[in-house]
Amino acid sequence: MTNSTPDGSTYSDEPSDYILVQGNADLKDGWVVPRVWTSQKTKTAQAGDLIMSVRAPVGAMGKTAYDIVIGRGVAAIKGNEFIYQTLVKYDADRYWKKLAAGSTFESVNSNEVKGAIINVPQDIEEQKKIGEYFLNLDHLITLHQRKIDKIKNMKKAMLNQMFI
């Protein structure tokens, strides 16, 4: 899970290279957001994989819509929406923080990630329905957050107009 990171000299801002995911900075709103690229292909994850930050902050989760190269700061996990939502809950419950160690920055190792016990319904359809339910809630939260942001911007504009 924590193989070598590509050499820094291979980093670029060229989208023609491989997307490099190193940690939480590459995750936004539950997704990998390309920020840095590399010409060196080391450890990889495939589109659809779950990505977990294993270094400070430990436990942040995302999904990737791209084939990517991963650094030491993240782990790639094969899973579905149910597993993703469960791992998001683990992060919210600070499960990983309790296992984290390190003086410079906290981290968890591959054995701790592999050893996490997750209660999973045996019925794949049930897993799918539960995962979709929480995914729909995530979408609803996002829509409401956008509305809130628009209203805050409107308020700010009105206050600016009022005090000109």
- The pLDDT of residue 151 is 97
Q: How far apart (Å, rounded) are the C-alpha atoms in residues 136 and 146?
A: 15
How many other β-carbons are positioned within 10 Å of the β-carbon of residue 134?
16
Per the structure block, which two tokens stand in for 141?
A: 């939260």
List the Cα angle 44/45/47 in 5-degree steps: 140
Q: Are residues 114 and 35 in the same domain?
A: yes
Residues 114 and 130 in one domain: no
Domain identity same for 51 and 107: yes
Residue ranges for the chain with pLDDT beneath 50: 1-3
The owner of tokens 């994989």 is 49
Q: What is the pLDDT of residue 3?
A: 46
**CA-based end-to-end distance of the chain:** 56
Judge if 134 and 107 occupy the same domain.
no
Regarding whether 125 and 113 lie in a shared domain, the answer is: no
Whether residue 73 is found in the same domain as residue 23:
yes
Q: State the CATH number of the domain containing residue 87.
A: 3.90.220.20
Does one domain contain both 113 and 132?
no
Q: How far apart are CA 164 and CA 146, in angstroms?
A: 27
**135 SS3 class:** helix
Q: Which residue segment(s) compose the domain that 153 sits in? A: 121-164
CB atoms within 10 A of CB 143: 10
pLDDT of residue 103: 64
Residue 20's beta-bridge partner residues?
Answer: 36, 69
- Shared domain check, 74 and 150: no
Per-residue pLDDT of 104-136, as tens digits, reads 778 898 888 988 999 999 999 999 999 999 999
Q: Indicate if 132 and 87 belong to the same structural domain.
A: no
User: Contact, 134 vs 81, CB < 8 A?
Assistant: yes
Q: Which amino acid, 157?
A: A
Structural domain tally of the chain?
2
pLDDT above 70: percentage of residues in the chain:
97
Same domain, 6 and 82: yes
| 114 and 66 together in one domain | yes
Q: What was the pLDDT predicted at 36?
A: 93
| 74 and 3 inside one domain | yes
